[in-house]
Structure 1
Amino acid sequence: MNPLYNELEDSLGYRFGDRALLGRAMTRFAAAKEEGQGDDHSMDALATLGDAVIDVVVLEHLIAGGMESKGELSLTKMNMVNMTVLRRLAESISLDQYVTWGKGESGQEIWRSGRVLAECMEAVCGAAYLDGGTEAVRKILIHLAFFL
């Protein structure tokens, strides 16, 4: 396990009970394939899960704050949760430094692409959800000042 994960957990404001989930969230599909690992060793499924969980946590936050209109909820969530916002969150904690990149990705510095770091942030949230439920994801988002 990456010795820098303690530092990453400090940046996230969340300690994983199952560090293997964090390791998976930080492993790109290309890197897993290069290491002879299957899909279950890469972040892809966790990113999909994280995308959905972030939406749920944000909607819970908005409803708890008194927002009830379906249109207003949808628009506000759409403005709060997008690739630009998620990428900025990832950049704020230098998430790219913790990711295991494939050789080609590393050479091309693929994390400079708009979507890639956002997907990494989604994967972290997906892993946190599996580790500690929506409360874990909420804790991370609050720690990263997502709701300000």
Structure 2
Amino acid sequence: MKYAKLYEKIGYTFKNEAYLDHAMTRTAYAREHETPMNETMDSLAVLGDAVLDLVMICEIMAEGEYDKGEITRKKIEAVNMTVVRKIAEQLELPSYMRWGKGELRMQIWTSGRVSAECFEALVGAAYIDGGVEAATKIIRTVRMPQGSAK
């Protein structure tokens, strides 16, 4: 199973591994291999970004925070690019990604935004595969900072 180690690290096994394949496929790779664009990570990264926000806001509120400004500040602190990039690197997501030739040459995954998008796509794929419960399980397993935790 090509994702066995990843499943272990995220604490979730995809029911439909095609969603994870999509999350691990960059647009450049898809263009080079005539893969349909709906089988790439882009839309999943957008969805995953929103799901991360949702889950973190729920976690912050569950900790007892109800001030709008504080919720927003804590959410931004928890899901900023540096935090999300670090998680992607800890999960070794770049090693699972299907990169385009130019991306491989340039080692584009060293860009903070690109690595962060890989994790966002993973969360988006989990949401489609298993709902908010699956996404929440992954986020909790990888120890996303919650609320005021630093």
TM-score using structure 1 length: 0.95
Q: Does 1:107 align with 2:108?
A: no
1:57 counterpart SS class = helix
Give 2:8's aligned residue. Answer: 10
Q: 1:57 aligns with which of 36, 46, 55?
A: 55
Deviations 1:7-30 (A, max 9, x none): 111111110001000000000000
Unmatched runs of 5 consecutive residues or more in structure 2: none
Deviation per CA, 1:85-143: give whole Å up to 9, x if none: 10000011111100000011011110011110000000000000001111111111111
Q: Which runs of 4+ in 1 moved over 4 A?
A: none
Query: Counterparts of 1:6-45 in structure 2 under 5 Å?
Result: 6-45=4-43
Percent identical pairs in the alignment equals 47
RMSD: 1.0
CA distance in 2, matches of 1:142, 1:39: 30
Tell me how far 1:50 sits from its aligned partner. 0.1
Note the C-alpha offset of 1:75.
Answer: 0.6
SS of the counterpart of 2:97?
A: coil
Question: Counterpart of 2:144 in 1: which secondary structure?
Answer: coil
Aligned counterpart, 1:80: 78
Give the CA deviation at 1:4.
Answer: 2.4
Query: What whole-Å deviation, never above 9, does each CA across 1:35-91 have from its counterpart, x for those lacking one?
Result: 101210110000000000000000011111110000000111011111111000001
Secondary structure of 2:35's aligned partner: coil
Q: Name the SS for the 1:134 alignment partner.
A: helix
Structure 1 unaligned blocks of 5 or more: none
Cα distance in structure 1, aligned partners of 2:31 and 2:4: 25
Which residue identity does 1:74 align to in structure 2? T
Match of 2:134 in 1: 136
